Chains A and B, each alone.
With several copies, the nearest count.
Chain A
Amino acid sequence: MIDKSLVREIIAKRVAKEFKDGDVVNLGIGLPTEVANYIDKDVEVILQSENGFIGLGPTPKEGEENKDLVNAGGKFVTILNGGACFDSAMSFAIIRGGHVDATVLGALQVDEEGNLANWMIPGKMVPGMGGAMDLVVGAKKVIVAMEHTAKGAPKILKRCTLPLTAAKEVNLIVTEMGVIEVTPNGLVLKEIAPDTTVEEVKAATEAELTISPDLKVMEI
């Protein structure tokens, strides 16, 4: 079992390895945002923020915040040299038009078909989809970054039971237990966390898992 306090870091670090030089990436609120901290310095990734710019930079120092410059979570951020601002129609033209190479989002549930549910729990929590539906449909690669289970219950299911964010759009699931690819033949475990057994992963997963013939140990 992995130290709980490291779970988020493990996931963020592993997701960060998915990007290549020049990729345009949109990181969701929460854990996905932390991915930015672990991107290889030799890899230039351009972060897109759906509220209207590219070139999202780190959090400003206290006292140096610009009231006009926030990320899609409303947090003060910076814009890197060479960044560009645009309106919401252009922002989502970029997203829906396939100009974002990868989007990283959290999930409530994800399933064998690559269906994703991450925007509401009927009767309980209905924040709205924000930009998530467009991101999941439009990005070339959809990476779900999440803890493998929620209070011990699997989140990787045979079929999502919550209202979907999008159908059949997820490409990769990264958790603290492993890396799972969504293929036309279902979910394939490609990498497994150190000190974790395939049986442990299977036990924490409701969906059918195929084990890749060249299963690797997750680099973290």
Chain B
Amino acid sequence: MNKLKILNEIMEHIKDGQTIMFGGFLGVGTAEKIVDAIVEKGVKDLTIICNDTGFVDKGVGKLVVNKQVKKVITSHIGTNPETGRQMNAGEIEVELVPQGTLAERIRAYGAGLGGVLTPTGLGTVVAEGKQVIEIDGKNYLLEKPLKADVAILKGSKVDKKGNIWYSKTTRNFNPIMAMSADVVIVEAEELVEVGEIEPENVATPHIFVDYILKGGEV
């Protein structure tokens, strides 16, 4: 199986109306080349799932600025004023999720769990409309799993089978998103030979990865 694709081949998998997860934390660990290509392709009505909406000129923020996003499920929009502006203008729907809950909801889908039982958000607006379950005298919010049509990851080192190693703080949401989408695409900052990443140091096993884009440094 050859997972290595050129950008045009990768973009065939990106379509109007999809739900797409993007790894990254304020743009660190986000596949910028693929984001740029999505901006260029101009697909619309996307639902994006991401830690934050980055900046107007960095990370997934560029998709928001280009008005390609119908809904965003995220923990923070404060660094991209355009998201807030569109939200206030009724142009984009924003579902704000506590960061730990966001991570666990994504993991839950990938791990085949029915939901997440978390104390986070109890007594706040986050709890509104959600089921509260009492377990041994303590209350927990039932938060539902999150999945996507496509997950777009950024790997610092990716081998030709698709095993991924993430440098420093680029890991963030990438490994859990790898588990929770129908199609998983990774942009490789450095493409390496199979075997160059020791089995113990693989952070995302290759079985999760469908396609690899040789990205290079941005």
Rounded to whole Å, the gap between the CB of B154 and the closest CB of chain A is 10
Rounded to whole Å, the gap between the CB of A97 and the closest CB of chain B is 4
Q: Which of B78, B100, B124, B168 contacts A53 (CB 8 A)?
A: B168
Taken together as a complex, chains A and B put the C-alpha atoms of A91 and B200 apart, in Å, by 13
Tally of contact residues, A, Cβ under 8 A: 58
Check if A99 is an interface residue, CB within 8 A of chain B: yes
Check if B167 is an interface residue, CB within 8 A of chain A: yes
Check if A21 is an interface residue, CB within 8 A of chain B: yes
Do residues A128 and B77 form an inter-chain contact, with CB atoms below 8 A? Answer: yes
B111: chain A residues at CB < 8 Å are 89, 92-93, 96-97
Do residues B172 and A88 form an inter-chain contact, with CB atoms below 8 A? Answer: yes
Q: Which of A55, A89, A137 contacts B104 (CB 8 A)?
A: A89
CB-contacts of A116-171 with B (<8 A) = 126-134, 137-138, 163-168
Check if A83 is an interface residue, CB within 8 A of chain B: yes
Q: Which of A93, A130, A168 contacts B75 (CB 8 A)?
A: A130
A95: chain B residues at CB < 8 Å are 100, 112
Binding site for A on B (CB under 8 A): 1, 25-29, 51-52, 74-79, 84, 87, 94, 96, 98-104, 106-107, 109-113, 118-126, 156, 159, 161, 163, 166-176, 179, 194-195, 199-200, 202-203, 205-208
A-B contact pairs, 27 of them (CB 8 A): A46-B206, A48-B207, A51-B25, A51-B28, A51-B169, A52-B25, A68-B156, A68-B168, A68-B169, A74-B79, A84-B163, A84-B199, A84-B202, A85-B169, A87-B172, A88-B25, A91-B100, A91-B172, A92-B99, A92-B104, A93-B112, A99-B179, A128-B77, A129-B75, A129-B76, A129-B126, A134-B98
Give the top 10 A-B pairs by smallest Cβ distance, nearest first. Answer: A127-B78, A92-B100, A167-B123, A96-B112, A134-B100, A93-B111, A74-B26, A84-B202, A128-B76, A84-B205
